[in-house]
Amino acid sequence: MNQKKLAYWIFKCLSIFMSLGLLLFIYFQFQIYHEIQMLSVKDDLRKNSKIAQYILSSRLVGISDSPSSCNYYCQKIAAMTDMRISLITENGVVIGDSLHGSNYRLDIKINLNEYSQTYDTASGQNILSLTIPFEHKLKNSVFYLRLSKQFRDNWESLRVFLSQSSLAILSFICIIILSSAIISGIINESIQQLVNSINEIITGNTMIKVPSSDFFEFWVLGDALKKMTNKLHENQLELRKYNAQWEMIFETMHEGIIVLDHLRNVTVINNAAKHFLGLSLTENYSGKPVLEINRNYELNSLIDSLTSVRGKTDDFSELELTSDVNKSSKYIVSGVDVEIETDQPHGHVLVFTDVTRIKELERVRQQFFDNVSHELKTPITIIQGIIESLPECIENNPGQSTKFIQMIKNNTKRINTIIDDLFHLAKLDQGDQMIYKKFKRQDIKLTVERAIASVSNKINDKDIKLKETLNSIEVFGNHGLLEEAIRNIIENAITYSFKGSILEIESVSNIDSIELHIKDYGIGMSPEECCRIFERFYRVDKSRDRHSGGSGLGLAIVKHIVRIHQGNVTVSSTEGEGSLFKITLPVNSDVYTESHQVFDRFL
């Protein structure tokens, strides 16, 4: 669309209006000028008529004077007054005329004391005439004295007027042009300042200072623009805050999200989705086709299926995928067909939910129930078999009954141990408040010595040589639980050590923590077994552990106790050479919040 500039339009309108005003001014001035000219001619005719009367009355004795005398005096008067003088009888006979002579009849209607206007075809001029009565004093006769004078017509008067006032008109035209240019320039400058401010606002600069104007109309417009700018700035800050919050939530959420437009180009993708697809976290993928960043056939098939379910009640699709980056990671991908923009074709939203942890927990839970069932079923089966055989044994071999009863006691004790340990683990899992109420500062050396004393019989039974290198340092914690954890590790070391081997217990002080090293020289473990040693019911040598009466939960309890104290427990081992357990505990941590009490229930 061809737009016109306001400044040009204002300049044009002002020029037109002022030009029309100039024309009207010239027209009225010309009328005044023409009227003044007519009045001047009439006044000359009136004055000169009196002069002519006086001369003719005093110079002409009578009408019988020769025509040449009349012509002479008429011409003389005409030369004096620059007018045509005619002397006419009552019958219309000219007896004297300054231009054509005498003795001819003037065929005109005589209007006394009135001005008459005629056009002289010979000279092509307008003639203004005045006829007055002239009385001869001697003859008592009435004659008519006619005075005529040329005057300019309208066009000639206009030409003369314009030539005389041309400089003034040109000056006025220049003033019109200059005034129009100045006014339009001022208006254009004010408008341009507002336009520049608006353009800055369009680019997002809402902090710009809107210029003020001395003109009321532009001041009102500028004030409205200021209010709009302030409101836009407030909305922009609010929007930035909202976007920052949304981006923070979007980028930190665990679920991966990909939004596709109707052409299947990426609109939005967060870091979790990039991680799942093995993409760079720093690269921008907006606008790229989804096939360019994803080569997974199943995922592309899911996207294809979204269009087919559009408009149905269950208008979403779902499948389980394995991550291309980490094959152990499992994801549930949910896709839905959505209307991203009004009156635009539908796009797609894909949500990636990491279910690796859930799958692992399901596996561990199932394994836990299997282990519990197995651990309880074994002694129960033994007890059941003994009970079934006991009547026959008492009848046929009474001496064996004592042995069977002892076996029943041992397996019953084992069942009770397993149940007690399970209840103990449940309390640790739930973060029983009584655990934290028993936190106090105590020398860790004393706690270790108590744990050693509680298993001294087992140490002596296997003739194990104990080497202690302990430092005195206070640790804030539940020392009853810490003693239990240390005892469980020592018992585990004794169980899997050879008779007469060495058991080393050492404490190492750091700046803000203490490490307890418990090293045995027993059968050791493989790296795979080291990774699972703290799982519930996991045993390196199942037959040996069951023979010792253990529940298979001791090291799992150790892990939970250490975690309650914000510590860490690790193991390193070599098959055939023994194992080294390290417990790391903080020294100066007095605060234990709820977040520190949360840990895995099933690992």
pLDDT of residue 398: 66
The answer on pLDDT for 590 being more than 60 is no
What are the counts of helices (DSSP H) followed by strands (DSSP E) for the chain? 16, 18
Q: What is the mean pLDDT of residues 44-71?
A: 73
Token reading at 199: 């353009």
How would CATH label the architecture of 430-597? 2-Layer Sandwich (3.30)
**Tens of pLDDT along 383-438?**
777 777 777 776 677 666 677 777 777 777 777 776 766 666 666 666 666 677 77
How would CATH label the architecture of 6-159? 2-Layer Sandwich (3.30)
CB 74 within 8 A of CB 96: yes
pLDDT of residue 296: 75
As annotated, the residues of the chain forming the CATH 3.30.565.10 domain(s) are: 430-597
CA distance 119 to 158: 18
pLDDT of residue 592: 44
CA distance 584 to 576: 26
As annotated, the residues of the chain forming the CATH 3.30.450.20 domain(s) are: 6-159, 253-354
CA distance 41 to 596: 122
pLDDT of residue 517: 93
Burial of 309 by CB count in 10 Å (0-12 exposed, 13-18 middle, 19+ buried)?
middle
The answer on pLDDT for 456 being more than 80 is yes
Does the pTM surpass 0.85? The reply is no
Amino acid at 396: N
| Mean pLDDT over each residue of the chain, to the nearest integer | 76
The answer on pLDDT for 491 being more than 80 is yes
Q: Domain 253-354 class?
A: alpha beta
Q: Around Cβ 54, how many Cβ atoms within 10 Å?
A: 11
pLDDT over 70 percentage in the chain = 73
**Tens of pLDDT along 121-178?**
666 677 888 888 876 654 556 778 888 887 766 666 666 666 766 777 778 778 877 8
Ordered DSSP codes for 40-93: HHHHHHHHHHHHHHHHHHHH---TTS-HHHHHHHHHHHHHHHTSEEEEE-TTSE
Instruction: Categorise residue 429: left if φ over 0, alpha if ψ from -120 to 50, beta otherwise.
Output: alpha
Chain-centre distance for alpha carbon 179: 46
Token reading at 66: 């020769």
Residue 85's nearest CA partner among 75, 70, 72, 95 is: 75
**Least confident among 7-11, 458-462, 529-533:** 7-11
pLDDT band at 371 (very low <50, low <70, confident <90, very high): low
pLDDT band at 596 (very low <50, low <70, confident <90, very high): very low
3-class secondary structure, 396: helix
pLDDT of residue 8: 65
In sequence order, the β-bridge partners of residue 538 are none
Q: Edge to edge, what strands does the sheet with 316-322 contain?
A: 266-269, 256-260, 347-354, 330-338, 316-322
pLDDT of residue 519: 92
CB 577 within 8 A of CB 587: no
pLDDT of residue 155: 65
Token reading at 202: 């369009």
Q: What is the mean pLDDT of residues 533-557?
A: 66
**Tens of pLDDT along 162-206?**
676 677 777 877 887 787 777 777 777 777 777 777 777 777 776
CA distance 585 to 570: 12
3-state secondary structure 241-273: HHHHHHHHHHHHCCCEEEEECCCCEEEEECHHH
